[in-house]
Amino acid sequence: MRSKKKNILLEKILVADYAAEGKSLARVDGKVIFMENAIPGDIVNVKLTRNKKDWAEGYITGFHQYSPDRVEPFCSHFGTCGGCQWQMLPYEKQLFYKQKQVEDNLKRIGKIALPPVLPIIGAGQHMYYRNKMEYTFSNKRFLLAEELRDASVSAKQNAAGFHAKGIFDKVVDIDTCYLQEEPTNELRHAVKKWGNENDVSFYDMYLHEGFLRTMQVRICTTGEIMVNIVFGHYHEEKINALLDHLLRSFPSINTLLYTINTKKNDSMHDLLPQVYYGKGYVMENLSAGDEAGGKDFQFKIGPKSFFQTNTKQAERLYRVTRDFAALSNTETVYDLYCGTGSIGIFLSPLAKKIIGVDFISEAIDDAKQNAAINKIQHATFIAGDVVDICDNAFFEQHGKPDVIITDPPRAGMHEKLVRRILEMEAPRIVYVSCNPATQARDLALLDEKYAVEQIQPVDMFPHTHHIENVAQLMKK
């Protein structure tokens, strides 16, 4: 270790493990050192940026030896765009560390009695697995390190791709992305080429001005394709010209929309997409599997709808949820954070009644339509906050829950909701989580009345550190 004032360089340290959020860690003289872009088995030099008594974090300045587990990333943009952080790990090793992440979080944060964690359910498809992608158009291209040293290369270039990690106003110009099947790359290249050839402005994220802003592409397992182009301001002639060009070039597009966004953020929730061609939505299928008679469920997905972005793994995730719910056609199921109703609808053939609750009214509108499409008459979807609406009058109207399904966002459940769930005293809870750390915190709170009986991790996003986890809880 070399030190000059606060400028500390650790040399030839062995990367030992993975920590939360995909960071790697090493241990030096009893202190844990966190870093990025390394895998266990690498031997590296690390420059510290933060240095506390028991832990520190820093960045790698050089590699002395690569881990024998390393593989060659398949994407030319690996390490630049900020996505697919684990491409240098073989998929079986990704699953190993994701399983370990679930186990470590539940034990370290939850501190409650737990059963053995079931083996993680991996994805059958490691590439082209996303049904939805969002691309950004920018007038500033993120430059690679070697380009920064070349005075002749300017960042003032139009780019189409993804935000560079940690840099809000520059975009990595993507050649080929392997997350979604074609024509996703062809569409992005076509819009960028049209913009350059027609001298339209690409968005400036610092000045908040420009015409071409973002594009969402959704490609369903049904083959239906929806494209939504977001513009920074309205210009009828240019909008019509671009959209007509896309329809001529890509006859496979089923629905083409455009959205005007003059805000300083890219959130879609308060914007109004306009249908230019097609029905304004696409249809997606989820298969319940042979054990449920091979039934398929259809879901209507609009430009603002939430739907699991990996359809095939969503089927596996929902089958686990259904198995953990252990329904026998007699239960009233409360589906909390129900979104567009996908879990409740998936479980509906085995339930007496489904009550879905979500605070996003547009999602509840979608859920009602999806229930009607699937001819489900014993499901009710309600917009509101569970903490506020689940009172005695609500129970008298809908019945108390026999099973509660909760699928909260990454932040987990609000403590008030946990208290309300404890008051409901449903015999069984199935907790679907996209963040095992906040799930562990909530399970510790629920431990007052509930014991965790089964735990099943599911990998929805190969080549990333993200992991879904399903826990079954039974009332003590």
Q: Both tokens of residue 269?
A: 């929730």
Q: Which residue has the tokens 């409740």?
A: 344
Question: Looking at residue 435, what DSSP letter applies?
Answer: -
CA dist., res. 297 & res. 432, Å (int): 20
Among the residues of 115-180, which ranges form H helices? 145-148
CA dist., res. 19 & res. 337, Å (int): 28
Neighbouring residues of 395: CB distance < 8 A, sequence distance ≥ 6: none
Name 15's bridge partners.
Answer: 26
* Cα 261–chain centre separation: 23
Alpha-carbon dihedral angle through residues 18, 19, 23, 27, given to the nearest 10 degrees: -70
Host H or E run for residue 354: strand 353-358
Nearest alpha carbon to residue 264 among 205, 202, 201, 200: 205
Nearest alpha carbon to residue 367 among 375, 356, 377, 378: 356
* Residues known to be catalytic: 434
Strand 31-35 versus strand 55-65 pairing type = parallel
Packing angle of the helix pair 415-424, 436-446 (nearest 10 deg): 40
Q: Which residue has the tokens 């994220």?
A: 205
Is cis: bond before 40, omega within 30 of 0? no
CA dist., res. 154 & res. 202, Å (int): 16
